[in-house]
Amino acid sequence: MKTFIKYLIYFFIFILIIFILPAICTKKRNSKDFKQEKVIKQDEENIVNESKYDYSKYGKIKLLHKKSGQIEEIPIDEYLYGVVSAEMPANYEIEALKAQAVAARTYTIYQISNNKGKHRDADICDESICCQAWISKEERMQKWSEEEKEANWKKVVLAVNSTAGQIITYNNKPINAFFHSNSGGITETVANVWNGSDLPYLKSVETSGEEEYSQYSSEVKIFKTDLIDKIKKEYPDVKINFDEEECIKILDYTESGRVKTVKFGNTEIAGTKVRSIMGLKSTNFSIKINGEDIIFSVKGYGHGVGMSQTGADSMAKQGKSYQDIIKHFYTSVEITTI
């Protein structure tokens, strides 16, 4: 009988070690928080891995590789992974990346619908100065460091897939979703950049926090003689007498405070033209003469129309969603699923 009790005790100890102890130890890991976190991770994983969205009408696009002249047929969202990762740093907030994905998707669909023939047999090209930048996954991964490349790519894919099918519309039509790097605190209307008429959804709006980014301020310093040489290439009759006061003078500004016209001696030149001749980052600049140097102090980076990318990141940091960001930079628009 004594032996039986002894074995019974051994049996209970055995049960305790095998079943009850592990259950107690893992109880903490099964807490609500852990479950929640796991669900979110699983959701993200599903979004990253989910099959491509079926844009019945836009399924695949024809992408022109400018350098090689080759045209590649590529599913639109796969193309957008390459655009988002070329156009915006992957360390920006996820909501900013989502806003970029929706803006880039809208821009693409607008190009397909409105600019037929711009690239003959292709819908869009891979250059930022012509259409929007694009980079292949291979090339992109090579540029990122070993530790961050997988997480970065996943983040870009998540931004595109979690907004699949969404575009920005005004009056039920896709908008011309311009975007740029840094607005210098205020965006520009489209007519002030490319002449022509303004678009109701591209109004000048202010953003805070853009001064935190390196793209916010820059400077171009040039010798007086080099300045004249540069201008002469486009305006051969230009004459500047540096002894005269106000020999270089900004004559007027746009409503957003960007330079509209500059007088260089006997020649008046548009701010946008000065930007391209001098290689300035934007038309939001001031000019100072310092001895033999002319100094252009520049605010912001890019044409300033539509969504500012650093502005988007700054808004996301303040807790705004991608919908908030889009509706801030594009006036009176809707986000529509196609």
Whichever of 130 and 251 has its CB closer to Zn ion, that residue is 130
Long-range contacts of 230-237 (CB under 8 A, 24+ apart): 230/277, 230/278, 231/264, 231/267, 231/269, 231/277, 233/277, 234/273, 234/277, 235/264, 235/267, 235/269, 237/266, 237/267
CB of 190 to Zn ion, least distance (A): 18
Give dist(CA 291, CA 288) in Å, integer.
10
Whichever of 88 and 122 has its CB closer to Zn ion, that residue is 122
CB of 180 to Zn ion, least distance (A): 16
131 touching Zn ion, by CB under 5 A:
yes
CB of 332 to Zn ion, least distance (A): 28
3-state secondary structure of 91: coil
Whichever of 132 and 215 has its CB closer to Zn ion, that residue is 132
CB of 130 to Zn ion, least distance (A): 3
Letter for the amino acid at 220?
V
**Edge-to-edge, what's the strand order for the sheet holding 285-290?**
217-223, 293-299, 285-290
Whichever of 126 and 188 has its CB closer to Zn ion, that residue is 126
227 touching Zn ion, by CB under 5 A:
no
Letter for the amino acid at 205?
V
Whichever of 117 and 291 has its CB closer to Zn ion, that residue is 117
CB of 62 to Zn ion, least distance (A): 12
Q: Which of 41, 325, 43, 324 is nearest to 161 (CA)?
A: 43
Give dist(CA 218, CA 196) in Å, integer.
29
Give the bridge partners for 296, in sequence order.
Answer: 220, 287
Whichever of 306 and 311 has its CB closer to Zn ion, that residue is 306
What residues from 100 to 129 belong to the interface with Zn ion (CB under 5 A)?
Answer: 125
Size of the site for Zn ion (CB under 5 A): 3
CB of 89 to Zn ion, least distance (A): 23
130 touching Zn ion, by CB under 5 A:
yes
List of residues contacting Zn ion (CB under 5 A) = 125, 130-131
